[in-house]
Structure 1
Amino acid sequence: MKCRICSGNVRKFFDLGPQPISDAFLLPAARENEFLYRLQVGVCESCMMVQQAEEIPRQKMFHADYPYRSSGSALMRQHFEAVARRFLATELSGRDPFIVEIGSNDGVMLKTISEAGIRHLGVDPSGGAAEASAESGVRVQVDFFDETTAGTILARDGQADVIYSANTVSHISYLDSVFRGVDKLLAEDGVFVIEDRYLGDILEQTAFDQIYDEHFYLFSVRSVQALVQLHGLELSDIEHLPVHGGTIRYTISRPGRRVIGPEVGRLRASEPVDFSVFDDFARRAADIRDELVTLLTRLREEGRRVVGYGATAKSATILNYCGIGPDLIPYICDSTPGKQGRLTPGSHIPVLAPESFADPYPDYALLFAWNHAEEIMAKEQAFRQHGGQWIMYVPGVHIV
């Protein structure tokens, strides 16, 4: 296997077996002939980019019915509003600035930009998300971002002072075309700002459910630095953020245009270069799988009722890797209307509306949306008051 970034040798270290499209929630009558693929990940021995072995056609993952909405979490709404205000105070404070967001989803970040009267454009392949963006006053183009798309935007709108992308660039296997597009569209003094889950946190927390079809790459400072240098750009700054269990905000610019922040070198120096770290991660993930299945089986035998909370994309990984189905978890509660009344991909567990959680409360709830644990537990205090307990599996299996 050759690296899709630098063509170096990729050393496979984790095989999660057959997996479905993580956000392909099924109607009960449509469970036959479900698309499955082999989910394996490896690390490049040259640039250290962690990547999947098998590429899924992008249209299977990102389409008009893509259910995820960024504004579904109050925490994420606050995060993106803060991002927008930061850009307005810095990069977008000049004369007639322009910002492009790759993977704008429902426009939660650009809404604040739009309300400030700043020229903007969201690019997203999901027609449903784009419709939600337009309803909130955000200008959006339904498309995948690549070199061709960038050329169209440049001809129509001119160069961008900011190109921003949150939890999207790591989803795109064809990054060569994306970076050629960025190079074409970005102003000389502009910045390309990426936010993505951080490999260092994933390894430390054994958060193996962060590996699923959409997360084609798992970024580190070392691998992103190699990536941008291959495309004539420079990693000028980073910021470690708590969202999604650990995220890095990478600020990328043209060489020599920005002072390189000290955090770039500091965090890069702390990252593993010993490949045994990745093998240890895979072994710990297998231990978590065995411990979780043992716990759920014991609780079922004791007559305890366990349900799931949060039908997240990453729950597809743990459910299918662990072989957890409706026999152990009869349903999962989720607030996303597009998922309710459907079955989880691969494991075929019914997804119900949040009202079902309290009708009646279960003995235990397996929290798949663990990266929003604080927000969820604060909202569901009545569950605890009724004697309910949360089951967590990051960084290991434990009961809260």
Structure 2
Amino acid sequence: MTFSCRHCASPVSLTLVDLGHAPPSNAYINAEAANSAELTFPLRVGVCENCWLVQTEDFTERERLFAADYAYFSSTSTSWLAHARRYCETAIERFGLSAESYVIEIGSNDGYLLQYMKQAGVPCLGVEPTASTAAAARAADIEVVEAFFGVQLARKLVEHRRADLVLANNVYAHVPDIIDFTQGLAHLLTPEGVISLEFPHLLNLIRDCQFDTIYHEHYSYLSLLAVDRIFKACGLRLFDVERLPTHGGSLRVWGCLEGATHIQTEAVRAGLAEERAAGLDRAEGYAQFQSQTDSRKNAFLRFLLKAHNEGRRVAGYGAAAKGNTLLNYAGVKPDLMPFVCDAAPSKQGKLLPGSHIPIRPPEALDQNPPDYLVIFPWNIADEIERQLTHLKRYGTQFITSDIAEN
């Protein structure tokens, strides 16, 4: 594997993991198209040994991955809504946001976050490329520009007004041209404006073998080391970083223009030092990930085969990208997992990409309670288990994909 780094253009030849071929993880299939040919692409991740950006080898364009009927709606998760509300309350208080301020969210999805800015009386704008989620935001009376973001769009937006806060939560990893995107963020800012980005932390991905968070929609797997370099290359600097429990361990970074007066906190220096100590600036820090991934995948498959041989019923919950990565890499089909339930109406009645496992509404679990329910979005497993706790009276056991290793 050799390709050019999307940040520094250096040759990338160090492989983090090769997950074979897979379809785009959110390309859910209509039942009538189940017998049609399905596009799959190599799912390989490399490590740039110059700037230490971990990234996919690109085989498909963003327009295919984030199509008009993109099925992920952020408001489906109550815990995610609570996280968004807390974020808005914190940002408003910390930076004194008011009716005189202006907030732009890149990747605003269905308005899950900006609704709280709007309720607080802070003027705001969403930027969202997918038509289905943008329409949901507009239905909530949130102004949305339906487009992919970069420098070109930023230049148009600042003709109206520059932003005091630009946020892009769980978007940065989804960006194919990370330099154009970051330069666009910088272009939007007032002189003392701030940028806020949340993204899953590469350190946790490596430590906890979170290989199921790898899919084509995630172009980059971000460390503080890599983001610090990218910001500097675009006239920005990090001045604070927070650790979050979301998505199995995330970072929230705060940035500003190089000449702004925001003082850098000790948390930035400590975070960079921790990553160096963990080997994220050395090839050996990435050397064991493939073997760990294969061990976890094989253990999950052994569990399914054992349950099948014993006549136990296994169902899944959460038609999430995490589950699709795992199911496709393990080669799981409906014989081992007859159905997966999901609360999102946009997914119900369709089939999971690759595995072609049917997606049913949660009520299907009451009609046919399984012996085991595999929760694929393990980052919100507690929330899901609370919602479905009544299944325990049927003997259903709630598990996650690493059950066989526990």
Are 1:44 and 2:48 counterparts?
yes
Secondary structure in 1 matching 2:338: coil
Residue 191 (structure 1) aligned to one of 186, 194, 216:
194
Distance in 2 between the 1:289 and 1:241 partners? 26
Residue 98 (structure 1) aligned to one of 97, 102, 114:
102
Q: CA RMSD in A?
A: 1.4
Aligned position for 1:254: 257
> Compared with structure 1, are the counterparts of its residues 345 and 35 closer, same or farther at alpha carbon in structure 2 (3 Å cutoff)?
same
> Compared with structure 1, are the counterparts of its residues 263 and 368 closer, same or farther at alpha carbon in structure 2 (3 Å cutoff)?
same
TM-score (norm 2): 0.95
Are 1:2 and 2:10 counterparts?
no
Equivalent position amino acid for 1:375 in 2: E
Distance in 2 between the 1:384 and 1:290 partners? 27
Distance in 1 between the 2:93 and 2:399 partners? 42
Equivalent position amino acid for 1:261 in 2: T
Are 1:361 and 2:369 counterparts?
yes
Q: How many residues align?
A: 397
Aligned position for 1:117: 121
Aligned position for 1:376: 384
Distance in 2 between the 1:116 and 1:392 partners? 38
Matches within 5 A, 1:136-215: 136-156=140-160, 158-215=161-218
Distance in 1 between the 2:67 and 2:265 partners? 38
Q: 1:71-101: per-residue Cα shift (whole Å, max 9, x none)? A: 1111100000111112222335367211100
Secondary structure in 2 matching 1:4: coil
TM-score (norm 1): 0.96
- 8 Å Cα contact 1:343-1:349 kept in structure 2: yes
Distance in 2 between the 1:246 and 1:230 partners? 26
Q: CA deviation at 1:50?
A: 0.5
Aligned position for 1:324: 332
Q: CA deviation at 1:9?
A: 3.2
Secondary structure in 1 matching 2:95: coil
Q: Unaligned 5+ residue runs, structure 1?
A: none
Distance in 1 between the 2:95 and 2:19 partners? 42
Distance in 2 between the 1:324 and 1:72 partners? 26
Equivalent position amino acid for 1:287 in 2: S
Distance in 1 between the 2:72 and 2:98 partners? 34
Aligned position for 1:288: 296
Secondary structure in 2 matching 1:121: strand
Distance in 1 between the 2:196 and 2:304 partners? 42
Q: CA deviation at 1:205?
A: 1.3
Distance in 2 between the 1:46 and 1:326 partners? 43
- 8 Å Cα contact 2:98-2:122 kept in structure 1: no
Q: CA deviation at 1:391?
A: 2.8
Matches within 5 A, 1:381-396: 381-394=389-402
- 8 Å Cα contact 2:99-2:123 kept in structure 1: no
Q: CA deviation at 1:219?
A: 0.7
Secondary structure in 1 matching 2:198: strand
Residue 17 (structure 1) aligned to one of 14, 20, 25:
20
Distance in 2 between the 1:70 and 1:195 partners? 14
Q: CA deviation at 1:318?
A: 0.5
Aligned position for 1:397: 404
Are 1:218 and 2:225 counterparts?
no
Q: CA deviation at 1:55?
A: 4.2
Q: Unaligned 5+ residue runs, structure 2?
A: none
Of residues 83-92 and 235-244 in structure 1, the stretch that sits farther from structure 2 once superposed is: 83-92
Aligned position for 1:108: 112
Distance in 1 between the 2:67 and 2:124 partners? 22
- 8 Å Cα contact 1:55-1:173 kept in structure 2: no
Distance in 2 between the 1:14 and 1:24 partners? 22
Equivalent position amino acid for 2:404 in 1: V
Secondary structure in 2 matching 1:12: strand
> Compared with structure 1, are the counterparts of its residues 118 and 293 closer, same or farther at alpha carbon in structure 2 (3 Å cutoff)?
same
Aligned position for 2:83: 79
